[in-house]
Amino acid sequence: MGPGPARPGRGVYGQLAKLCLDALVQRDVADLVRARVFSWSETILQAFWVVGGTMGILIPLEPTLGFSVVTVVVVLAVLVAVRSRRTRPRPPAPAV
């Protein structure tokens, strides 16, 4: 995709998503663990930037093969996310 109005928008949307995540952490996470959650989320985001860049370099330019690789990676990520949501018990809500 060449330069144009859509290209700068990607960075803006990424930054808005990060700001939304930070706002959710500030609103929903207890004070005692907030710094840990911020550092964890930032580490995960940076790691996925690296993974995404690496995939962009390593995936072949053959469309069928490239889309197949990306599909497998996305399906695996969704399965890991679903499994992690099911296996971790939720802590009880603090009394107000």
pTM check: above 0.75: no
- The stretches in the chain having pLDDT less than 50 are 1
pLDDT of residue 82: 85
CA distance 15 to 54: 21
The sign one gets for the Cα dihedral 53, 58, 64, 68 is negative
DSSP string, 26-38: HHHS-TTTHHHHH
- The amino acid that residue 44 corresponds to is I
Q: Is 65 in a helix, a strand, or coil?
A: helix
